[in-house]
Amino acid sequence: MGERPMQKESWGRSSASLGVTAAVRKLLWASFMCSIVLVLQNLAQPATADPVLASSVGFCKPVRLEATQEEKDRSVQCCLPAPRRTPKRFQLPRVHHLRVRRPAHELANDVEYVNKYNLAYERMNALPADDPRSFLRQWHTHCSFCKEAYLQRRLNNSATGYPLQLHYSWTFLPWHRMLIYFHEKILGSLIDDPDFTLPFWNWDNQLDATAGQIPQIFLPYQQSTRWPRQHGRHGKIRNTFLYEGKRRNPNHMPPKVLPLTFDASLEKERANWTHDQIRHANLGQVYEMVYNKVSAREYMGGPYDTSSNFTEAVNVTVGESGGSESLHNTAHEWVGMLNNTAYPDNEDMGVFTYAGRDPIFYSHHANVDRLWNVWKALPDKITPDGHRVRRDYDDYDFLETEFTFYDENADMVIVKVKDTLDSRKLGYTYQPMVDADSLWINHKPNGTKPSYKRSDVRVSTSNAIARRPTSFKLTRRAPTAADLRGTQALNVNQLSEGVVLEHVRVPELMYVRFDVFLDSPAATAETDEDESAYVGTFTHLPSGVTTVTDLGQKMVHVEDDDMYRTLNIRFSTSLALKRLGVTDWNTDITVTVVPRFRPHGYGWNIKALTFDCLRQEFT
Ligand code: C2O
């Protein structure tokens, strides 16, 4: 505790020394910045439940797809064809046996599987553009729903007038689950194999060095690698569709392993990281972004916002990503063609608009989907109670939310979120990866505690995340019964403590990444993300398209200049506080935000992201 002089001497006081007036003052301070926001939020809460109907029927705003000349000529928007028949309600399949999705790195030499997988894609790609099962339309399904092409509707079919967006909220996991569910079904039907399963890119696996590499399946097979020379029934591996013409970062090919703490601005500095360093950082990252999230809100993201008071012209989404989504963004960023002037948006994977054009996208999401299952089965061991059960939201708004997809018969189906929550009921499961999972589940962050001099501390009073690390003051208090409202905790000791940056305004075209540390005002971009004080990372992937007017020279952005997302960003603090020895509820702390923005991307000239307030919250 010798390292915490600032708390003692300035605004942080231990509970024992708090007089009644001091306590009152403290409470008033805590409510100062955020109270107005909270009141407004409560007023804005709809009186009745408001599940969303996420449908591709009806008005569709064209989304520009023209980063390159090639696309400009070929395609102008990603709206989906209208259904040919009346949409029907999704029925859970009759499950005789579970289809098992297997890890991509274990399938590289399975000639029969790789050839089938590739053939399915070749056939999907050959379907005409008006067929919703075609690869083009599969990509467009993701593009249109991630780029606000459609309008939100209520279940009674009335439009809210706001754009529809399936990221940045609790819809992220169930919507992507069903996206790849139908994608997989379509692939299977095209090769007459109803048991076909997508492979999952098992990037969290640090046990097998090949698991975190771009899987061999998505790369050209070379004589020099482990190319199997089988000349049996199925012959040699043919995987042309799975890699040819895919836009991926040539510097991130095997044996490079996806660093889950990937920071484009530190790529040179970290180029010499040993495999062990990456491995350790990766375990730490999955531990923080999956294990450390106990509540549905922390892991799955916030409720879908249908009631925000925003101006459509300048604001595209209001939302809150969970740990799952933030973690998954890094793989997108790393696979895309970063810093290539011909592909200024980090195509394909690095921008939502194009991500679905790379087959690795669906395999990446299979792992995101797998981790959702793993997360639900994790023990709590984090809240003071220690026995909270991790589970999906059970709010009516969540369960009744509906999505539309095209199935393997090219028919539109309407799926309710409540039917998506158990993958076994959908007929599939994952090959267990118990040993690899347990590495990050049992990870221990480095024991190093931050040390700093009081004179180093500059607590910012403006609500801005600047280009340099910035520290903020967080006023803390104990949870009360009122904090239980809207959570799934059974008592206050089951609440997970967190810090929320509320209403951060993020330009929709900007890649944003920042790390958050507690009580580490001296943290810099070089600070190890695996030290005790680290509480996680926020990542935002762009979903627009930058227009290149002068290829190879200058990137000029001409559209959607003022579009930004308003996001709440939450970090779970219980474990880090424990590690730092903060055991009482009244010790105030500093929150240090370390930005890691993409150096040459859109928004690099933006001096700071502003937000409304920073506060403690229990979920
Ligand atoms: Cu819809 Cu990985 O994104």
Least confident of 12-26, 66-80, 312-326, 444-458: 12-26
Measure 582 CA to ligand 1 centroid, in angstroms: 37
Q: Which atom of ligand 1 is nearest to the CA of 175?
A: 1
* CA–CA gap between residue 310 and residue 315 (Å, rounded): 6
Question: Is the CB of residue 476 below 6 angstroms from any atom belonging to ligand 1?
Answer: no
Measure 147 CA to ligand 1 centroid, in angstroms: 11
Render 307-333 in DSSP notation, one character per residue.
-----TTTEEEEEE--HHHHHHHHHHH
Place of tokens 């930004």: 564
Question: Is the CB of residue 147 below 6 angstroms from any atom belonging to ligand 1?
Answer: no
Assign 265 a pLDDT band (cuts: 50, 70, 90): confident
Q: Whose CA is nearest to atom 3 of ligand 1?
A: 352
Render 176-239 in DSSP notation, one character per residue.
HHHHHHHHHHHHHHHTT-TT--PPB--TT--SSTTTTSPPGGGS---TTTT-----STT-S---
Q: Which residues pair with 466 in a beta bridge?
A: 608
Residue 277 backbone class (left: φ over 0; alpha: ψ -120 to 50; beta: rest): alpha
CA distance from start to end of the chain: 28
Assign 277 a pLDDT band (cuts: 50, 70, 90): very high
Sheet holding 159-163, edge to edge: 88-89, 412-416, 402-406, 52-54, 151-154, 159-163
Contact 274, 466 (CB under 8 A): no
Measure 12 CA to ligand 1 centroid, in angstroms: 41
Least confident of 36-50, 458-472, 489-503: 36-50
Architecture of domain 20-90+97-618: Orthogonal Bundle (1.10)
| Separation in Å, CA 380 to CA 88, 273, 293 | 39, 33, 9
Assign 163 a pLDDT band (cuts: 50, 70, 90): confident
Question: Is the CB of residue 596 below 6 angstroms from any atom belonging to ligand 1?
Answer: no
Q: Which residues pair with 52 in a beta bridge?
A: 154
- Tell me the average pLDDT of the chain: 85
Token pair for 508: 């929709």
Measure 324 CA to ligand 1 centroid, in angstroms: 11
* Residue-level pLDDT at 547: 54
Find the length of the chain. 619
Question: Is the CB of residue 146 below 6 angstroms from any atom belonging to ligand 1?
Answer: yes
Cis amide bond preceding 542, omega within 30: no
Assign 43 a pLDDT band (cuts: 50, 70, 90): very low
What per-residue string of b and e applies to 493-520 under the rule 16 or more CB within 10 Å gives b? ebbbbbbbbbbbbbbbbbbbbbbbbbbb
* Sign of the alpha-carbon dihedral angle for 545, 550, 551, 554: negative
Question: Is the CB of residue 540 below 6 angstroms from any atom belonging to ligand 1?
Answer: no
Question: Is the CB of residue 352 below 6 angstroms from any atom belonging to ligand 1?
Answer: yes
* Residue-level pLDDT at 561: 52
Secondary structure letter of residue 544 according to DSSP: S
Render 20-32 in DSSP notation, one character per residue.
HHHHHHHHHHHHH
pLDDT higher than threshold 90 for residue 306: no
Where in the chain are the domains? 20-90+97-618
Q: Which residues pair with 413 in a beta bridge?
A: 88, 405
pLDDT higher than threshold 80 for residue 1: no
Nearest-CA neighbor of 172 among 301, 323, 348? 301
Measure 171 CA to ligand 1 centroid, in angstroms: 11
Question: Is the CB of residue 328 below 6 angstroms from any atom belonging to ligand 1?
Answer: yes
Q: Which atom of ligand 1 is nearest to the CA of 365?
A: 2
Question: Is the CB of residue 136 below 6 angstroms from any atom belonging to ligand 1?
Answer: no
Nearest-CA neighbor of 532 among 422, 443, 611? 443
Measure 376 CA to ligand 1 centroid, in angstroms: 20
* Residue-level pLDDT at 297: 98
* CA–CA gap between residue 351 and residue 559 (Å, rounded): 16
Q: Which atom of ligand 1 is nearest to the CA of 176?
A: 1
Cis amide bond preceding 561, omega within 30: no
Q: Which atom of ligand 1 is nearest to the CA of 325?
A: 2
- The residue among 563 and 15 whose pLDDT is bigger is 563
Assign 558 a pLDDT band (cuts: 50, 70, 90): very low
* CA–CA gap between residue 504 and residue 398 (Å, rounded): 24
pLDDT higher than threshold 80 for residue 310: no
pLDDT higher than threshold 70 for residue 4: no
* CA–CA gap between residue 63 and residue 57 (Å, rounded): 16
* Residue-level pLDDT at 345: 81
Helix (H, G, I), strand (E, B) or coil at 297: helix
Least confident of 76-80, 130-134, 254-258, 435-439: 76-80
* Residue-level pLDDT at 54: 83
Assign 245 a pLDDT band (cuts: 50, 70, 90): confident
Question: Is the CB of residue 139 below 6 angstroms from any atom belonging to ligand 1?
Answer: no
